[in-house]
C-alpha cells in the first residue's frame, strides 16, 4: 500500500484525534481549540479534494481500504468512489464555513463546541466512507450522539424541549435500523454492501420477501433522517431551535439519509439485482412527492426564516427521493448536482438568518432565549459571562454602511439558488433532473409528469415564500437601528455562495463528474469488483 | 427454545412500544431500554439458535461450520449494547435537564389537559 492509499481513512481519523486531544484542553484555551478545529477541517477539505481527483482519474476505480488488511468481505472495509468523495468534499466545505461562522460568537455559548463539531464531522464522513451496513449504523450513532450535544448547544428551554423529541425519535429509529440490518444479515449472511450486490440477485421466494422487509425497515431509519413525510415532523422544530451554525451543519445530516438510500438502492436494488430490482421505487416516488408537497406548504405557511429553512430541507429531500425513485442514471446525475447546490444554499440561508433578523431587529426575544447552562461544567459561569459580554460587544461591531445591501443581495442569491432560477446552480440541477425525466418519460408514465409538475411548483412556492420573507425583513423595517454585520459572519456566507457560483462557472466539468458518478452507481459490479478480494470469489457464487 | 425466545422478544417489544407512547419522560426512557433489549435478542436470533456451540473456530479440529455458532451477530450485539447504553445515559441527562428547565416530566414540556 502506498502512503496515498491511507488517505482513505484520514477523514475519520483526523477529526477523531483532534476531538480527543481537545477534550483534555481547558475551556480557557479557546484560541488553540479554534485553530485546531480550523486546521482539521481545512485538512479534511484537502483530503477530500485529493480523494476526489484519485477516484476521478481516467479509468480510476473505487478505492477500498481494508482495516487490518483482512480480506473483504470478512472485515471492515472503507470504500471511496465518486459519490463518497463528492459527499466528503461537501461535508468538509460546509463544516469549514459553519465553523468559521461559529467563531463570531456561537462557540462560546456553551462548553465543548469544537470537539462535538469535529465528532459530528467524523460521523458524517464515516457514514460516507463505510463499506458495510453495520459500520454505517455505528457512524450514524457517532453522528447522532454528537448532534444531540450540538442541538443542545447554548441551552435554554426551547432547545431542551426540541432536543428531547429529537433524541427520542432518533434512538427509536436506530433500533429500527438494527432490526433491518439483522434481517438482511439473516437472509444474505453478509453485511458488506459490495457482497450484498453480489448475493442479492440470486435470492428468490421467501428469502426475497425477508430481504425486502429488512430493507424496508432499514430504509425507515434513513427516511427519518432525510425527513420524508410523515416521518419528518421533528425536523423543522429541532433545526429552528438549534443555534444558527449548528442548524446549518445539520443540513448535511439529512443528506446522509439520502446518501444511504442512493447507495443501497444502487447496490442492492439496481437493474442488475434480479428479482429484487426496482424494489421500493414507487414508494420512494410517492413518499418523495408527499414530502415535497408538505415542504412546499410548510414553506408558504412559515412565518420565520428558520421555518422556511426547515421546510426547504424537507422539500429538497423530497425532490431527491423522487429523483432516486425514477431509477434512471441521467435523473440521478441531476439529482446529485441538486443535492450539492441545495445543501450549500440552505446552509448559507441558515447562516443568513441571524444577521438578517438582527438587522430587522426582531431577534430580541431570540437572543434572550438562552439561559442557564444544562450541564455543570468547567467554569460555566465564566463562559456565560464572556458570552453575555460578547453580546454587548456585538452592539458595537464593525459598521458596514452597505450592510443591508450586502444582506439583501446575499438573500436574493439564496432565494434564486433555492428556487432553482437561472443563472445559479439550482437551475442547472433542476434542468438536468427534468431533462432526464423527459427523456425517460415513456418508462415512467404518469409518475414522471407528476414529478416534473411537483418540481416546478415547489420552485414557485420557494420563490413566493422567500420573496415575502425578504420584503418583510429587508424592505419593510424603515426606522431600524444601524445594522451591523461582522466580517466573520459575512465571510462564510459569501464563501458558500461563491461555491455555488463556482458550480455554475464550472458547470461543464461538474455535470460531467455527476454523470460519471451516476453511471458508476448503476454499475454495482465495478464497485463490488474493487472491494471484494478476487481470490475469495468463485466464478459461480452460490449461497 | 424458539418459541420461548420469540415470545420473549414479542412481549418485551410490545411493552417497550406501549411505554414509548406514554406521556412521561421516565416511561420513555424505560420503553426505549426495553426495546433495545428486545432488539439485541432479535439480532442474536438472526444468527440462528444453536446450543452448546462455540463461536470461535478451533484451529486444530476440522473446520465444520455446522458445529459452530455464528460469531457475527454476537459481535453486533456487543456493539449495539454499548451504543444503546451510551445513548440511554445521554437521554437520562436530557430528561433531568428538561425536568429542571420546564418543571414538568411531560415529554412536551407542558402539562396539557385534554
Contact (CB<8Å) A164/B101: no
Same domain (yes/no): A314, A260: no
Q: In A107-189, where does DSSP find H-type helix?
A: 113-129, 133-151, 157-188
Write out the DSSP string of A462-485: HHHHHHHHHIIIIIS--SPPPP--
Distance from CA of B71 to the nearest CA of A (A): 12
Q: Which residue has the higher pLDDT, A365 or A66?
A: A66
Q: In chain B, where does DSSP find H-type helix?
A: 2-20, 25-46, 71-102
What is the Cα–Cα distance from A11 to B16, expressed in whole angstroms? 37
Q: How confident is the model at residue A363 (pLDDT cuts 50, 70, 90)?
A: very low
**Range among A173-187, A278-292, A343-357, B56-70 with highest mean pLDDT value:** A173-187
Section A42-51 average pLDDT: 92
What is the torsional sign of CA A201, A288, A527, A504? positive
Same domain (yes/no): A209, A355: no
Distance from CA of A168 to the nearest CA of B (A): 8
Whose cell is 484537502? That residue is A46
Q: Are strands A77-80 and A63-66 parallel, antiparallel or unpaired?
A: antiparallel
Contact (CB<8Å) B39/A179: yes
According to the model, what pLDDT value does residue B29 have? 92
Residues 6+ apart with CB under 8 A from A106: A113, A153, A154, A243, A244, A245, A246
Contact (CB<8Å) B86/A145: yes
Q: How confident is the model at residue A208 (pLDDT cuts 50, 70, 90)?
A: confident
The chain B residue lying nearest A141, using CA atoms, is B83
Please identify, among A212, A246, A274, the residue that sits at the C-terminal boundary of a domain: A274
For the cut 70, the answer to whether the pLDDT of residue A390 exceeds it is no
Q: Which residue has the higher pLDDT, A474 or A264?
A: A264
Smallest Cβ distance to A157: which of B28, B72, B102? B102
Buried b (16+ CB within 10 A) or exposed e, A89-122: bbbbbbbbbbbbbbbbbbbbbbbbbbbbbbbbbb
Contact (CB<8Å) A164/B94: yes
Torsion angles phi and psi, residue A130, rounded to 5 = -65, 150
B20 touches chain A (CB under 8 A): yes
According to the model, what pLDDT value does residue A535 have? 64
pLDDT in tens, chain B (114 residues): 889 999 999 999 999 999 999 888 899 999 999 999 999 999 988 888 877 777 777 666 666 777 777 888 888 999 999 998 999 999 998 898 888 888 888 888 777 755
DSSP label at residue A152: T
C-alpha cell at A19: 476531538
Chain B residues within an 8 Å CB radius of A167: 87, 90-91, 94
According to the model, what pLDDT value does residue A406 have? 80
Same domain (yes/no): A237, A351: no
What is the Cα–Cα distance from A379 to A402, expressed in whole angstroms? 39
Q: How confident is the model at residue A367 (pLDDT cuts 50, 70, 90)?
A: very low
Same domain (yes/no): A285, A229: no
Cβ atoms < 10 Å from Cβ of A395: 9
According to the model, what pLDDT value does residue A421 have? 82
Chain A residues within an 8 Å CB radius of B90: 145, 148, 167
Instruction: With both helix axes pointing from N to C terminus, report the angle between A425-439 and A446-470 in degrees, rounded to the nearest 10.
Output: 160
C-alpha cell at A14: 483526523
Torsion angles phi and psi, residue B89, rounded to 5 = -60, -40
Please identify, among A274, A295, A321, the residue that sits at the C-terminal boundary of a domain: A274
The chain B residue lying nearest A190, using CA atoms, is B72
Contact (CB<8Å) B83/A138: yes
Contact (CB<8Å) A160/B93: no
According to the model, what pLDDT value does residue A366 have? 47
Residue A385 lies in a domain: no
Smallest Cβ distance to B94: which of A138, A141, A163? A163
Chain A residues within an 8 Å CB radius of B79: 134, 138
Same domain (yes/no): A335, A251: no
Percent of chain A with pLDDT strictly greater than 90:
25
Write out the DSSP string of A10-36: HHHHHHHHHHHHHHTS-TT-HHHHHHH
Q: Does residue A284 contact residue A321 with C-beta atoms inside 8 Å?
A: yes
Mean pLDDT of chain A: 83
Distance from CA of A164 to the nearest CA of B (A): 7
What is the Cα–Cα distance from A279 to A329, expressed in whole angstroms? 16
Which of B43, B81, B107 to mutate: most A Cβ within 10 Å? B43
Distance from CA of B100 to the nearest CA of A (A): 9
According to the model, what pLDDT value does residue A378 have? 47
Distance from CA of B64 to the nearest CA of A (A): 16
What's the number of CA atoms in the CB half-sphere (13 Å) around residue A65? 20
Candidate CATH numbers 1.10.287, 3.90.320, 1.10.1740, 1.10.10; the one for domain B2-50+69-102 = 1.10.287
Helix (H) or strand (E) holding A79: strand A77-80
**Exposed/middle/buried for residue B104 (C-beta within 10 Å: 0-12, 13-18, 19+):** middle
B14 touches chain A (CB under 8 A): no
For the cut 50, the answer to whether the pLDDT of residue A485 exceeds it is yes
Domain coordinates of chain B in residue numbers?
2-50+69-102
B55 touches chain A (CB under 8 A): no
Write out the DSSP string of A295-326: HHHHHHH--SHHHHHHHHHHHHHHHHHHHHHH
For the cut 90, the answer to whether the pLDDT of residue A504 exceeds it is no
Q: How confident is the model at residue A478 (pLDDT cuts 50, 70, 90)?
A: low
Q: How confident is the model at residue A543 (pLDDT cuts 50, 70, 90)?
A: very low
Torsion angles phi and psi, residue A128, rounded to 5 = -75, -30
Smallest Cβ distance to A161: which of B20, B79, B109? B109
Chain B residues within an 8 Å CB radius of A163: 94
Same domain (yes/no): A207, A343: no
Q: Does residue A133 contact residue A173 with C-beta atoms inside 8 Å?
A: no
What's the number of CA atoms in the CB half-sphere (13 Å) around residue A52? 18
Distance from CA of A134 to the nearest CA of B (A): 8
pLDDT per residue over A47-106, tens digit each? 999 998 888 887 778 888 888 877 777 778 899 988 999 999 999 999 999 998 888 878
Chain B residues within an 8 Å CB radius of A161: 98, 102, 108-109
Section A459-472 average pLDDT: 88
According to the model, what pLDDT value does residue A43 have? 93
Contact (CB<8Å) B98/A161: yes
What is the Cα–Cα distance from A495 to A344, expressed in whole angstroms? 10
pLDDT per residue over A113-168, tens digit each? 889 999 999 999 999 999 888 899 999 999 999 999 888 887 788 888 888 889 99
Contact (CB<8Å) B91/A171: yes
Domain span holding position A66: 17-274
Between CA A117 and CA A126, with CA A122 as vertex, the angle to 5 degrees is 150
For the cut 60, the answer to whether the pLDDT of residue A369 exceeds it is no
Residue A390 lies in a domain: no
The chain A residue lying nearest B23, using CA atoms, is A165
B66 touches chain A (CB under 8 A): no
Contact (CB<8Å) B79/A138: yes
Residue A252 lies in a domain: yes
pLDDT per residue over A313-334, tens digit each? 999 999 999 988 887 888 889 9
According to the model, what pLDDT value does residue A233 have? 87
Structural domain count, chain A: 2
Q: How confident is the model at residue A482 (pLDDT cuts 50, 70, 90)?
A: low
pLDDT per residue over A227-259, tens digit each? 888 888 888 888 888 888 888 888 898 899 999
Please identify, among A244, A274, A304, the residue that sits at the C-terminal boundary of a domain: A274
Helix (H) or strand (E) holding B24: none
For the cut 60, the answer to whether the pLDDT of residue A401 exceeds it is no
Write out the DSSP string of A231-252: S-TTHHHHHHHS-HHHHHHHHH
According to the model, what pLDDT value does residue A376 have? 46
Residue A197 lies in a domain: yes
Least confident of A372-386, A439-453, B83-97: A372-386
Same domain (yes/no): A500, A356: yes
Percent of chain A with pLDDT strictly greater than 70:
88
B72 touches chain A (CB under 8 A): yes
Distance from CA of B8 to the nearest CA of A (A): 16
Same domain (yes/no): A169, A288: no
DSSP label at residue A376: -
Q: How confident is the model at residue A391 (pLDDT cuts 50, 70, 90)?
A: low
Same domain (yes/no): A298, A260: no
**Exposed/middle/buried for residue A57 (C-beta within 10 Å: 0-12, 13-18, 19+):** exposed
**Exposed/middle/buried for residue A130 (C-beta within 10 Å: 0-12, 13-18, 19+):** buried
Same domain (yes/no): A267, A284: no
For the cut 80, the answer to whether the pLDDT of residue A427 exceeds it is yes
C-alpha cell at B87: 445513548
A→B interface, C-beta within 8 Å: 134, 138, 141, 144-145, 148, 152, 156-157, 160-161, 163-165, 167-168, 171-172, 174-175, 178-179, 181-183, 185-186, 191, 371, 374-375
B76 touches chain A (CB under 8 A): yes
Same domain (yes/no): A36, A63: yes
Same domain (yes/no): A266, A294: no
3-state secondary structure of A132: strand
Instruction: List, in sequence order, every residue forming a beta bridge with A132; answer none if it has no partner.
Output: A192
What is the Cα–Cα distance from A212 to A189, expressed in whole angstroms? 15
Q: How confident is the model at residue A477 (pLDDT cuts 50, 70, 90)?
A: low
Least confident of A37-51, A96-110, A399-413, A489-503: A399-413
Amino acid at each position: 500500500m502506498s502512503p496515498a492509499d491511507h488517505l482513505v481513512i484520514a477523514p475519520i481519523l483526523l477529526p477523531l484525534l483532534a476531538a480527543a486531544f481537545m477534550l483534555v484542553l481547558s475551556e480557557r484555551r479557546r484560541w488553540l481549540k479554534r485553530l485546531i478545529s480550523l486546521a482539521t477541517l481545512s485538512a479534511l477539505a484537502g483530503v477530500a479534494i485529493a480523494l476526489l481527483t484519485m477516484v476521478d482519474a481516467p479509468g480510476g476505480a473505487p478505492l477500498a481500504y481494508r482495516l487490518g488488511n483482512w480480506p473483504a468481505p470478512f472485515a471492515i472495509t472503507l470504500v471511496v468512489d465518486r459519490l463518497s468523495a463528492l459527499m466528503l468534499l461537501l461535508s468538509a466545505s460546509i463544516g469549514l464555513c459553519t465553523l468559521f461562522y461559529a467563531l463570531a460568537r456561537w462557540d462560546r455559548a456553551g462548553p465543548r463546541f469544537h470537539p462535538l463539531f469535529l465528532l459530528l464531522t467524523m460521523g458524517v464522513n464515516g457514514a460516507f466512507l463505510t463499506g458495510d451496513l453495520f459500520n454505517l449504523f455505528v457512524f450514524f450513532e457517532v453522528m447522532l450522539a454528537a448532534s444531540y450535544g450540538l442541538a443542545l448547544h447554548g441551552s435554554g428551554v426551547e432547545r431542551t424541549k426540541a432536543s428531547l423529541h429529537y433524541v427520542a425519535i432518533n434512538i427509536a429509529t436506530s433500533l429500527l435500523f438494527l432490526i433491518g440490518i439483522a434481517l438482511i444479515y439473516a437472509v444474505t449472511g453478509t453485511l458488506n454492501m459490495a457482497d450484498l450486490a453480489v448475493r442479492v440477485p440470486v435470492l428468490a421466494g421467501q428469502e426475497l420477501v425477508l430481504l425486502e422487509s429488512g430493507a424496508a425497515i432499514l430504509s425507515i431509519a434513513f427516511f427519518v433522517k432525510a425527513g420524508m413525510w410523515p416521518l419528518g415532523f421533528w425536523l423543522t422544530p429541532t433545526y429552528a431551535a438549534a443555534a444558527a451554525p449548528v442548524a446549518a451543519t445539520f443540513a448535511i445530516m439529512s443528506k446522509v439519509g439520502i446518501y444511504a438510500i442512493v447507495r443501497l438502492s444502487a447496490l442492492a436494488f439496481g437493474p442488475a439485482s434480479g428479482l429484487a430490482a426496482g424494489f421500493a421505487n414507487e414508494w420512494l416516488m410517492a413518499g418523495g412527492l408527499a414530502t415535497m408537497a408538505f415542504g412546499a406548504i410548510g414553506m408558504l405557511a412559515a412565518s420565520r426564516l428558520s421555518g422556511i429553512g426547515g421546510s426547504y430541507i424537507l422539500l429538497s429531500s423530497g425532490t431527491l427521493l423522487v429523483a432516486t425513485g425514477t431509477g434512471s442514471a441521467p435523473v440521478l446525475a441531476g439529482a446529485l448536482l441538486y443535492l450539492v447546490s441545495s445543501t450549500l444554499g440552505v446552509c448559507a440561508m441558515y447562516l443568513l438568518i441571524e444577521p438578517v433578523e438582527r438587522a430587522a431587529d426582531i431577534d430580541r426575544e431570540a437572543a434572550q432565549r438562552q439561559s442557564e447552562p444544562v450541564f455543570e461544567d468547567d467554569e460555566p459561569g465564566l463562559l456565560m459571562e464572556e458570552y453575555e459580554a460578547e453580546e454587548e460587544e456585538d452592539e458595537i461591531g464593525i459598521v458596514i454602511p452597505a450592510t443591508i445591501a450586502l444582506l439583501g443581495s446575499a438573500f436574493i442569491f439564496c432565494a434564486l439558488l433555492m428556487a432553482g432560477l437561472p443563472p445559479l446552480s439550482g437551475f442547472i440541477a433542476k434542468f438536468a433532473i427534468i431533462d432526464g425525466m423527459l427523456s425517460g418519460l415513456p418508462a415512467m408514465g404518469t409518475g414522471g409528469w407528476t414529478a416534473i409538475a411537483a418540481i416546478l411548483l415547489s420552485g414557485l412556492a420557494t420563490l413566493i415564500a422567500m420573496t415575502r420573507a425578504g420584503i418583510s425583513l429587508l424592505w419593510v423595517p424603515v426606522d431600524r437601528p444601524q445594522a451591523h454585520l461582522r466580517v466573520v459572519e459575512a465571510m462564510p456566507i459569501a464563501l458558500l455562495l461563491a461555491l455555488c457560483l463556482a458550480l455554475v462557472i464550472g458547470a461543464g466539468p461538474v455535470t460531467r463528474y455527476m454523470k460519471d458518478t451516476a453511471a458508476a452507481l448503476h454499475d454495482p459490479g465495478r464497485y463490488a469488483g474493487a472491494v471484494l478480494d478476487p481470490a475469495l470469489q468463485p466464478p459461480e457464487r452460490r449461497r | 427454545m424458539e418459541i420461548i425466545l420469540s415470545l420473549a422478544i414479542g412481549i418485551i417489544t410490545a411493552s417497550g412500544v406501549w411505554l414509548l407512547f406514554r406521556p412521561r419522560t421516565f416511561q420513555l426512557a424505560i420503553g426505549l431500554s426495553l426495546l433495545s433489549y428486545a432488539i439485541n435478542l432479535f439480532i442474536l436470533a438472526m444468527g440462528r439458535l444453536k446450543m452448546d456451540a462455540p463461536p470461535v473456530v478451533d484451529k486444530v479440529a476440522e473446520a465444520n461450520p455446522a458445529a459452530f455458532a455464528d460469531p457475527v451477530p454476537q459481535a453486533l450485539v456487543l456493539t449495539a449494547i454499548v451504543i444503546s447504553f451510551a445513548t440511554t445515559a445521554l437521554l437520562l441527562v436530557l430528561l433531568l435537564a428538561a425536568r429542571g428547565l420546564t418543571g414538568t416530566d411531560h415529554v412536551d414540556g407542558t402539562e396539557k389537559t385534554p
